Structure formats: C-alpha cells, structure tokens
Amino acid sequence: MRKIRIGAGQGFYGDSIWPAIETAKRGDVQYMCFDALAELTLAILQKDRQKDPEKGYAGDITRTMRELLPYVKEKGIKILTNAGGMNPLGALREVRRAAADLGIQGLKLAVVTGDDVADRLSEWKRQGIPLDHLEDGRSIESVMERLVFANAYLGAGPVVEALQHGADVVITGRTTDSALFLAPLVHEFGWGAENWNRLAQGILMGHLMECSGQSTGGNFSGSWQSVENLDSIGFPVAEVQEDGEFIITKTEGTGGLVSVDTVKEQLLYEIHDPSAYVTPDVVLDLTEVQLRDAGQNRVRVTGASGSKRPDRLKVVMGYADGWLGQAIWGYSWPDALEKAKAADGIIRKQIQRAGLQFDEIRTDYLGYNSLHGPLAKPPAEEPNEVYLRIAMRSGRREEAEKLGRLVPPLMLSGPPAMSGFLGIMKPRELLGMWSCLVPRQIVESEVQVSVLEV
C-alpha cells in the first residue's frame, strides 16, 4: 500500500532547528511541517508588527529557510509552515530573500492569506453576526474599541490548493496546527472532503506531530530519566498509509524516545472532549484510538473516527488590556518564605496608603508556589531561598511604573537580607485574548492562495 513520510520541523516559534536539519538530511521524508503559532504567539507577533509594519511573522523563518531550502532543491522535500503569523506576505519576502542569497532558483513559493479578519469585524457586526465571547458570553462591545488583531483558524483546504499548484514551500497565517500535516495526505491520496474517518486519522497524526519533541520523549512525565540523548532529540516522523493508518517514529540515530507512553501523553495534550475534538476539517473522535508498539521507536496508531466538519470557524482576537508592572527579588535562609511574605504585606499596605489604582495585583513566591499556586504544600524543610515576584495590572502605563518606586527602599527598610535583586521591569503592554465562532463561508470566501516562482 502506498505511503508517505512527513516530518515535524517545529513545535513553536523559537524551537530548535537542529532536529529539522537532521530530518531533512536523513529522514527520508517528502514533507516537513513547521507549526510556529499559538494564541500567545499571535500576541507576540502583533507587538512586533506595532513596532514595524514589515514584521509580524515568526522571525526564525529566515534561518529555517537558509538551512533547509538546499534540501528542498536537492531532495524535493516540501515545506509547509504557518510562520506567516500576522504577516504571511512579509514571511514570503524572507523566503525569497533566503533563496536569492543561496542562489537557488526554480522553486515555487505559495502564500495563503485571508485569515486576518480584523477589517471585517465591523461589517460582520452590522450584519448581526454574533461575536460574543466563546466561553463566557461577554458582548464584543466591551472590547470592540480596543481590538488590535483578529485571525480566523483556517483548515487544510488552502494548503492543499497550494500543493496542487506545485508549491515547494507553503506559507500561511493562522491555520490550525494539525491542518498543515493533513494537507499532504489529502493532496497525495486524494481523500475527499467527506471521507471523515481518513481525515480524522490525518488530523490525529497532525496532533501527535505538532508539538515536535513532545512525542519523542521531550516533556515526558513518565520515566523521563530513561530517555536518552535529549541533547540530540529527534523530532517525530509519520509514515502514513493511503487508508489513514500510520506509524510515529523519528529519524534514525537521533536521541529521544518514541513509545506508547510518550505518544499517549501527546495524544491527550490539549484535548477537552475526546469524543469531539473540533477542527475546521473534521470533528475527531479519539475514544477508540489504539496505540501499539511496532518496534524500536515505532508506534502504530489506528482507530480514529470522524464526523462532519463544523459550520463555523474559530476567530481569535487580541485587545489592549492595560499595562503590567512587576519586580522580582529574593530572600535567603533563615526564614526566607516568612521574609518574602512580610515584604509582600509591606508593599500592599503602601499601595493602599498611596491610593494607587491597580486593577489587579498578583504575588508569587518562586521556589514555593509560583508553579503550583493554591495547590502548593508547605515545604517540609525551610527553603534555602525564595524569590518574591509582585506583578500588577493597570489601565495606564504611568500607574504601572509606580510599583517600582516602592521596592528599592525595602533593601534597608524591610525584612533582612534582601538579595538576588532581578530588577524592576519596565511596564509592558498587555493583550487580552477573545475567541468567538463565525460562519465559515464568510471567512473562506476571502481566502486567497498565490503562487510565484523564484
């Protein structure tokens, strides 16, 4: 039975490029998919675009293309990436520049646009399309004047179209993570738009691949100490049959581990309802999925089923949500935690006395509860050191700056042995996130796929 091999090249903006290079060199893959985006990433890229309208794409695309375009030319590997972020055309310029610098010609580059819907929101609102918050039902009116970006989650369709036009590199904005991996299967195997079970297997494969090393022993909460050579971890590679069955493996000779347990962790990652994992391409049912050991660093995956794709697409928006002021400093043994708590009390009383208008104040004790929060247990032994982080949110930058004036006097006028002063951070603008669902046709009617040759 015919099969293709797809390699994961990236799990987030800033991921290591070395495993992708190893896969391109000796992974025997026809496709490599680079998932650069998360909702947090969109906020980061929006801030980049505010500083420079030419930016707004994942900046590591430059190095990625410089390293991998030679393999695209030599081996015919096709690269699919959503590193276009908020500015796919800007990312396209970087790819063209990289190809020119390398002296590579004869490649087809495709760019998908239309996921940016910010300039259409007002018209949708006039048409009566509800844009209320997906989770809590808040009215869009509460943030409408503060919105700074809005992007719809696209499925595999535009990427498939680009591949049908012969694209060697496909750059998108906010496509879903798994759609990048599904697109080569639809293109190569001719899966129909209503072949729900095969599409479900393809989406499942993409879900297991999208977080790079997380399927190959990275971030593994099982016997993580037994995972060898994480310094040279290999990213996952999928061998996919035409009927949708697939094996998760990794490039021969790389570090890490592919086992039923490592794959199972990724299977459950970010899954809310395992019977209805909703994507633009299909609604995936994971409840009958089976993982079987198929040899060293090989896991066979079967049993996914699917149902009709949704009639609505998710839109994620960002809105200006005030300013963050924060400071971090430490206290050492003895009584480190007690000292940090006393310092927090002093700062809060001074905030109240000064009448400072902060919308929210948060305190974390690094080394005690900064990760576990209210679930943190009192330490069995007195810690050697504790770092205090105080953060506040205000609607005005000037107010956020005032936190910093309260901290330095504690060096001489607070609990003893204030040390490890990491600093008073400059106020940072915050972006709140807003999600809603809109009819898919009003988004997809504006999506465009452009292909050019370099």
Model pTM?
Answer: 0.94
Whether the bond between 334 and the residue before it is cis, its omega within 30 degrees of 0, is yes
Q: Which of 27, 450, 13 is nearest to 236 (CA)?
A: 27
**What's the CATH number where 339 sits?**
3.30.70
Classify 323 as helix, strand or coil: strand
Co-location of 163 and 277 in the same domain: yes
Q: Provide the domain limits for residue 59.
A: 3-115+153-310
Measure the N-to-C terminal CA separation of the chain; round to a whole number of Å.
35
pLDDT digit string (tens) for 118-149?
A: 999 999 999 999 999 999 999 999 999 999 99
Considering the domain boundaries, does residue 127 fall inside one?
no
Q: Point out the domain boundary residue: 285, 310, 335.
A: 310
Amino acid in the structure at residue 26 = R
Co-location of 170 and 188 in the same domain: yes
Co-location of 295 and 399 in the same domain: no
Considering the domain boundaries, does residue 143 fall inside one?
no
Q: What is d(CA 397, CA 39) in angstroms, rounded to the nearest whole number?
A: 24
pLDDT for 212 beyond 90? yes
Number of domains within the chain: 2
Please tell me what DSSP assigns to residue 86.
T
pLDDT for 380 beyond 90? no
Count the neighbouring beta carbons within 10 Å of the beta carbon of residue 197: 18
Considering the domain boundaries, does residue 132 fall inside one?
no
Co-location of 238 and 200 in the same domain: yes
pLDDT digit string (tens) for 299-348?
A: 999 999 999 999 999 999 999 999 999 999 999 999 999 999 999 999 99
Per-residue confidence (pLDDT) for residue 150, from 0 to 100: 97
Considering the domain boundaries, does residue 372 fall inside one?
yes
Co-location of 224 and 186 in the same domain: yes
Q: Point out the domain boundary residue: 288, 310, 332.
A: 310
Task: Determine the Cα angle at 66 with ends 35 and 160, to 5°.
Answer: 40
Per-residue confidence (pLDDT) for residue 1, from 0 to 100: 79
pLDDT for 365 beyond 90? yes
Q: Point out the domain boundary residue: 269, 288, 310.
A: 310
**Mean per-residue pLDDT for 362-368?**
94
